[in-house]
A and B are shown apart, each in its own frame.
Chain A
Amino acid sequence: MNWLALRMLTGDRGKYLSLIFSVTFATLLMTQQVSIFMGIVKRSASQIIDMRDADLWIMDNKVRFIDEAPYLPPTDLQRVRGVDGVQWAVRFHKSNVNARLEDGNFRTVLLMGLDDTTLVGAPREMIAGNVADLRRPDAVIIDKAGYEYMWPRQPYRIGREFQILDRRAVLVGVCKASAPFTTLPILYARFSQAERYQAGQRNVMNYILAKPEPGRDPLEVCRNIEQRTGLMALTQDGFFWKTIDYFLGSTGIPINFGITIALGFIVGVAVAGQTFYLFTLENLKQFGALKAMGVTNLRLIGMILLQATVVGVTGYALGLGMTAAFFTYTNRITHLAGLHMTWLAAGGVGVAVLLIILITSIVSLRKVLVLEPAVVFRG
C-alpha cells in the first residue's frame, strides 16, 4: 500500500512539485531567518566570545551589556587582584573612536586596549603581520573585515599609517575576529596606546579581565569579587548571556525576525496545507473506492502520513540545502561572513516542518476518515 500511496502522490507532477516547493520555501525562509537572527544576536557579544585568555569579566555594577561600560578607577584593578581566588587580573579598554585615513576619509572604529605586559585578549589568528609587533610604538592590528572596510579592494599593506584623534597609528597586522554587532572595524592596541587615543580622559579602563586560581569555582570567585569590591563580576558565559538578553529584551530585533519566521511558518502551513488538502479532495472518490474495496482506516492513515512525510522530508532537505548554499555564498562576502546555518535553527525548523506536516495531514485525514465508502455509488 505504500507503493500505492507514493504513486498517488507523485502521479500528478504539478501538484507534487508545488507541495514540495511550499515546504522547501517555508524551510528556507525559516532556517535562513533563524540562522541570521542567531548570528546577529551572537555578534552583539562577539568580543566576549573572542576573549579566550580570561575567564572573568569585572565591570561597574550597573553595566547592562558590553558596549555600555563606564570607566573604572585604576585602584579597582588592585582591589580585584587582592580578592581571594583571583590568579591574575589585567586592565582592558573598549570604546568607539574616529580614525582618519590617509586620503582624509574617517571611519568609526572599535578600539580594544590590551594590557601592555600580557596582551591578554590579543587576536589568536593573524592573516598578515605578527601579534608581537603590537609592542612597537603606535602599533595597531585591525581585523580582516575592518581592513576591507577602511581600504576597500586594496592588498594588505603592513606599515600603513593613519590617525586616531590626531595621534599616529601604524598598522602592524591584520587578524581574524568575530564581526561585532555594529560591523565596525576592530582595532587592537596596547592599553597605554589606547590611553593616548583617549586624550583628556582620566581613566580609560572599563573592564578588568581576570582568571580564577586553578581548582576554584569561577562563580564563587565572582561572588568574592562582588562582595569585596562592589563591582560586577561575571563569567564569560554569564556576560555573554547578559549581553544577549539585553539585545533580545531591548531591541526590536527579535520581534522583526520573529514576524518573518512566523510568516514562513504560516506560508508553509497555508500553501502546503491547502495544496495537500486539495490533493486529498481530488482523490476523495479514489479513497472512497479503496475503502469500499477493503482498505481500513488505519491503512489510509498510514498512506496519508507516508505521503505527508515524503513531502515534508523532501521539502525540508531541499530547504536546508538551499539555506546551506545561501550561507556558503554569503560567507565569501566579508561583511556577511560569520553567519551560518546553525544546528539549532535546522532542528527548530525541523520541528516546525513536522508541525506543518501534522496540521496538513490532520486536515486531510479528517476528510478521508469521515468519508462513507458508499459515496462511491453516488455518480
Chain B
Amino acid sequence: MSTILTDIESAVSCRDVVKEFGQGDTRTVALSGVNVDIRPGRMTLLVGPSGCGKTTLISIIAGLLNSTSGTVNVLGRDLSRMSGSELVRFRQKNIGFVFQQYNLLPTLTAAENAAIPLIIGGTPRRKAVATASELLAAVGLEKRLNAFPSQLSGGQQQRVAIARALVHEPRLLVCDEPTAALDAQSGRTVMELLKRVALQADRAVIIVTHDSRVFGFGDQIIHMDDGVVTQVETTRNTAAAPLYEVSHD
C-alpha cells in the first residue's frame, strides 16, 4: 500500500488507478491501485521490467486509455469525467508525444512532420512549418529541414519527433522509451536535448524507460513492478522532497 504524503501542485495525479484487460478467464490486471503525483518542471522517469504496467500507466495519463477505476487528474482536469471528444481536444492541446519508433510520416519532410500538431490544431500549413523549422533548428537539425525520415539517422529522427512533440507547446510531454532504438551516444544526446529544450517550469516530462543509462537525467524516478508503484526516488536534480514513502504489505 502507498501512503500519500504531499503534493497539491501536481501536473499529474493518479489515485487508486486500476486497469484490467479482458474478462473472465482472460482477465488481466495491468495496474492494481496506482498512486502517483508528477510535478511540472521535473523530468520524471517511469521505470520497471517489461510488463510491469508502465506503458499502460502513461497511456492512461495521456488519455489514450481509460482506467477501470480510480481517478486520473491531468493538468487540473479529471480525465474520467471527460467525453471522448473532450479527451481528443485535451490531448491535442496539452500533450506532446515522443514514441519509441518515432512514428514519423515517411512521406513528409522533417519540417512538415514536426509541424503536424500545429496543423491538427488549425494553424495554416506555411506558418506551422515555419514554426516547426525554428524548433528543428533548436534541436540541431537546421540543415535537415527538407530531409525525409528515411534520409535521417535514428537519433535525428528522434530529434524530429521531439520537435514535433514540443511544437504546440504542450504542458505535458510523454515519452515512450525515447532512447531504446538508439546507441548510447545518440541516446545521451536525446536525453540532454529533452532536458535542455523540453523541460520548463510549467511543463512536466514523463519518460518511460528501462534504459538504466539515462536514469541520471531524471529528477524523479518512479519504479513499478507487477502493476504497482514500488518506489519513488527523488534525485539530486530537484529540491523537492520525495512524494511518496513506499511500504509493502
Contact = CB atoms under 8 A, between A and B. Distances in A.
A294 B95 CA distance: 9
B137 interface: no
A50 to B, nearest CB: 57
Given A4-B119, A294-B89, A372-B64, A289 B107 contact: no
B101 to A, nearest CB: 6
Contacts of B106: 11-12, 286
Given A1-B119, A293-B117, A379-B101, A11 B107 contact: yes
Contacts of B73: none
Contacts of B105: 4, 7-8, 11, 286
A377 interface: yes
A296 B97 contact: no
A96 B232 CA distance: 102
Nearest to A375: B64
Interface string B90-112: 01110001011101011110001
A294 to B, nearest CB: 2
A296 B176 CA distance: 22
Interface residues of B, number: 32
Contacts of A12: 106-107
A3 B120 CA distance: 11
Interface residues of A, number: 26
B2 interface: no
Given A7-B105, A293-B91, A373 B120 contact: no
B116 interface: yes
Given A290-B116, A294-B93, A373-B64, A379 B177 contact: yes
Contact of A292 (B64, B101, B119): B64
A240 B93 CA distance: 68
Which interface residue of B64, B125, B180 has the most chain A CB atoms within 10 A?
B64
Which interface residue of B58, B103, B119, B177 has the most chain A CB atoms within 10 A?
B103
A361 to B, nearest CB: 20
Main secondary structure on A side of the interface with B? helix
Contacts of A374: 55, 59, 64-65
A51 to B, nearest CB: 61
Nearest to A8: B107
A302 B92 CA distance: 18
Contacts of B177: 379
A293 B116 CA distance: 9
Nearest to B102: A289
A379 B91 contact: no
A374 B106 CA distance: 20
B85 interface: yes
B28 to A, nearest CB: 15
A88 B4 CA distance: 108
B154 to A, nearest CB: 13
A366 interface: no
Contacts of A373: 64
A7 B108 contact: yes
Contacts of A294: 88-89, 91-93, 117, 120-121
Contacts of B55: 374, 377-378
A295 B88 CA distance: 7
A377 B120 contact: no
A10 interface: yes
Nearest to B64: A374
A286 B102 CA distance: 10
Contacts of A10: 107
B47 interface: no
A377 B63 CA distance: 12
B147 to A, nearest CB: 14
B62 interface: yes
A285 interface: yes
18 contacts: A1-B120, A4-B105, A4-B116, A7-B112, A11-B107, A11-B108, A288-B103, A292-B97, A293-B97, A294-B93, A294-B121, A295-B92, A372-B64, A374-B59, A376-B64, A377-B99, A377-B100, A379-B176
Interface of B: 55, 58-59, 62, 64-65, 85, 88-89, 91-93, 97, 99-101, 103, 105-108, 112, 116-117, 119-121, 125, 176-177, 180, 208
Given A292-B64, A293-B91, A377-B64, 20 more contacts: A4-B116, A8-B105, A8-B107, A11-B106, A11-B107, A285-B103, A286-B106, A289-B99, A290-B116, A291-B88, A292-B62, A292-B97, A294-B117, A296-B85, A372-B64, A372-B65, A374-B59, A377-B100, A379-B176, A379-B180
Which 3 pairs, one residue from A and one from B, show the smallest C-beta to C-beta distance? Answer: A11-B107, A294-B92, A289-B103
